[in-house]
């Protein structure tokens, strides 16, 4: 038996891909090296368009327990520069404070609900590509075995074995000049501001919660997160000798003294953990030379790694998976040719390149030194201009993505959050990942369609399963030209509006 798709790795991006493939009518099998879900604390939240995308799959509701739509965040930071977004009209930046562990749990539950098989404690160790399939070598608890699949997707993280065995180069840079120290820690109660939730540090001053503090010697963050009774305390220092061994609370305290020039009497957290104590030296910024080699594709960290500054990793990776899922399923189910798969890379590589640009720019803005202080003063002046502020918010959210351009300005853009008939939100109609034809004219386009009543700059639009606009028109009613362009868009993206697949 040949499996449709083997996904190597049950991290967030592999699990999301498994959900998307299932929704689109393909049968994925996930192979995960770890016997249990990882307890490691990585992402503390999601930043950007992915929050709205999760709403469009009903996963935002599962993560938050509310049926309310996500609301934009009034403030955020870019390179430790505070962004006051509340003044922006149509603020595009959404955030969701939720630990990666929880995201993975919700995605795993959803994948299982959709009938996905997840094999844990099994490691992909090799593969051979054939004309019509890939033979994958797996090392399991009962010994090695093979799986035949039509496609293999490497969602196996930054050290991806899939990428390495496919001989896809991973060019970029590795630096070793930073040391980041993060721990759950006990902070003296008298330093905590009961109103704002930040700290008042004698000898330094007020430090708002979650807002990066850059000094000429390093960076400090105080993050009281809902996922733990103990706040996360982080420092980053440059060009400093690494202290031997794993991080200790006294080492973090000494680092704070150097960065802030003031002391915070940190203590060890009490009670049940896991309590984080993490020291990371340096970092990688790399982008895979190709996202595909014949029947092997890469998503998420397997395709790109970069600094975690600004939290863009899962905005990028989860939307890779959502971009790839429906396309790969259409090819597997014979509805599309291989050229549809090529659009995965042509659409997602430029997005990864922008994330890399943004994280590099932020890393430069938080670096120590008086030149950087000058650069920051200039940047602060630029951010006072609402046009520039919007540009940064668009960059961080991914709201500036425009995939394939078309003859209407909405084509290739994120479909607006429309209100449709009966007050239903677009996000409530896209949970099964079907494409939607939305009509505002009250006319019949000859396909199953949904009537809308929002004021958007078009009279009808076609939304792809990943939430982007495939086609839009201003024609007041269906005419020959608009019908022909709709048909062309349906064919180009292999979209079917039929009620069943």
Contact positions toward ligand FAD, by CB under 6 A? Answer: 8-14, 31-34, 38, 42-46, 100, 123-124, 155-157, 161, 300-302, 308, 311, 313-315, 317
For ligand FAD, the closer of residues 321 and 489 by Cβ is 321
* Nearest distance, CB of residue 263 and ligand FAD, angstroms: 26
Return the structure tokens found at 34. Answer: 């770890």
Return the structure tokens found at 487. Answer: 């048909």
For ligand FAD, the closer of residues 314 and 420 by Cβ is 314
* Nearest distance, CB of residue 248 and ligand FAD, angstroms: 18
Q: Which residues pair with 436 in a beta bridge?
A: 463
Return the structure tokens found at 500. Answer: 């069943």
Residue 325 near residue 273, CB atoms below 8 Å? no
Is 248 exposed, middle or buried (CB count within 10 Å of its CB: 0-12, 13-18, 19+)? middle
Contacts of 479 (CB under 8 A, 6+ apart): none
Phi, psi dihedral angles at 384 (to 5 degrees): -70, -15
Judge if the upstream peptide bond of residue 274 is cis by omega within 30 degrees of 0: yes
For ligand FAD, the closer of residues 318 and 458 by Cβ is 318
Q: Which residue is nearest to ligand FAD (CB)?
A: 11
For ligand FAD, the closer of residues 256 and 276 by Cβ is 276
For ligand FAD, the closer of residues 11 and 218 by Cβ is 11
* Nearest distance, CB of residue 281 and ligand FAD, angstroms: 12
* Nearest distance, CB of residue 233 and ligand FAD, angstroms: 14
Compute the distance between CA of residue 430 and CA of residue 414 in angstroms, rounded to an integer: 13
* Nearest distance, CB of residue 43 and ligand FAD, angstroms: 3
* Nearest distance, CB of residue 447 and ligand FAD, angstroms: 36
* Nearest distance, CB of residue 11 and ligand FAD, angstroms: 2
* Nearest distance, CB of residue 94 and ligand FAD, angstroms: 12
Which three-class secondary structure string do you get for 181-210? EEEECECCHHHECCCCCCEEECCCEEECCC
For ligand FAD, the closer of residues 325 and 452 by Cβ is 325
For ligand FAD, the closer of residues 293 and 439 by Cβ is 293
For ligand FAD, the closer of residues 16 and 436 by Cβ is 16
Give the containing element (helix H, strand E) for 23: helix 12-23
Compute the distance between CA of residue 228 and CA of residue 141 in angstroms, rounded to an integer: 34
For ligand FAD, the closer of residues 168 and 490 by Cβ is 168
DSSP 209-253: TT--EEETTEEEEEE--TT-SS-EEEEEEES-PPPSSS--HHHHH
Tell me the CA distances in angstroms from 388 to 84, 355, 361, 385, 454, one per residue in order: 12, 17, 15, 5, 28
* Nearest distance, CB of residue 182 and ligand FAD, angstroms: 7
* Nearest distance, CB of residue 13 and ligand FAD, angstroms: 3
Cα-atom radius of gyration of the chain, to the nearest Å? 24
Return the structure tokens found at 248. Answer: 């200790």
Tell me the CA distances in angstroms from 397 to 73, 95, 221, 318, one per residue in order: 11, 9, 22, 13
For ligand FAD, the closer of residues 103 and 411 by Cβ is 103
* Nearest distance, CB of residue 302 and ligand FAD, angstroms: 6
For ligand FAD, the closer of residues 439 and 466 by Cβ is 466
Return the structure tokens found at 371. Answer: 């030149």
- CA 391, 392, 396, 397 dihedral sign is negative
């Amino acid at each position: 038996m040949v499996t449709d798709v083997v996904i190597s790795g049950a991290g967030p991006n592999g699990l999301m891909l498994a959900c998307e493939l299932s929704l689109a009518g393909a049968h994925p099998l996930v192979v995960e090296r770890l016997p249990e879900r990882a307890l490691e604390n990585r992402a503390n939240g999601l930043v950007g368009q992915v929050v709205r995308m999760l709403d469009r799959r009903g996963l935002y509701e599962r993560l938050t327990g509310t049926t309310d739509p996500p609301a934009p965040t009034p403030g955020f930071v870019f390179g430790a520069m505070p962004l006051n977004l509340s003044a922006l009209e149509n603020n595009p930046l959404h955030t969701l404070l939720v630990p990666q562990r929880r995201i993975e749990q919700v995605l795993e539950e959803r994948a299982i609900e959709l009938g996905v098989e997840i094999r844990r404690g099994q490691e992909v160790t090799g593969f051979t590509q054939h004309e019509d399939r890939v033979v994958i070598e797996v090392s399991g608890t009962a010994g090695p075995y093979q799986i035949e699949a039509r496609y293999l997707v490497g969602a196996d993280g930054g050290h991806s074995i899939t990428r390495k065995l496919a001989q896809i180069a991973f060019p970029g840079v590795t630096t070793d000049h930073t040391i980041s120290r993060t721990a759950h820690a006990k902070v003296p109660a008298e330093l905590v501001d009961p109103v704002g939730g930040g700290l008042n540090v004698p000898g330094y001053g007020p430090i708002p919660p979650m807002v990066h503090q850059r000094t000429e010697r390093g960076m400090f963050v105080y993050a009281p997160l809902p996922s733990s009774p103990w706040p996360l305390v982080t420092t980053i220092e440059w060009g400093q000798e690494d202290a031997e061994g794993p991080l200790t609370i006294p080492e973090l305290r000494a680092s704070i003294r150097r960065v802030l020039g003031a002391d915070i009497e940190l203590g060890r957290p009490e009670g049940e953990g896991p309590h984080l104590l993490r020291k990371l030296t340096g970092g990688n910024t790399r982008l895979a030379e190709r996202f595909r080699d014949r029947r092997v594709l890469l998503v998420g960290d397997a395709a790109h790694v970069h600094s975690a500054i600004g939290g863009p990793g899962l905005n990028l990776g989860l939307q890779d998976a959502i971009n790839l899922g429906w396309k790969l399923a259409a090819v597997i189910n014979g509805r599309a040719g291989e050229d549809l798969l090529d659009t995965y890379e042509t659409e997602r590589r430029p997005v990864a390149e922008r994330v890399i640009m943004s994280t590099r720019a932020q890393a430069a803005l938080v670096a120590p030194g008086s030149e950087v202080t000058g650069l920051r003063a200039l940047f602060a002046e630029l951010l006072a201009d609402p046009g520039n502020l919007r540009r940064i918010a668009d960059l961080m959210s991914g709201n500036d993505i425009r995939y394939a351009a078309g003859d209407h300005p909405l084509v290739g853009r994120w479909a607006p959050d429309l209100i449709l008939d009966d007050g239903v939100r677009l996000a409530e109609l896209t949970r099964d990942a079907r494409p939607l034809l939305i009509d505002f004219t009250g006319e019949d386009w000859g396909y199953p369609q949904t009537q809308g009543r929002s004021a958007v700059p078009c009279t009808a639009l076609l939304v792809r399963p990943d939430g982007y606009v495939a086609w839009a028109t201003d024609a007041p009613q269906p005419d020959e030209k608009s019908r022909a362009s709709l048909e062309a868009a349906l064919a180009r993206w292999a979209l079917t509006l039929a009620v069943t697949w």
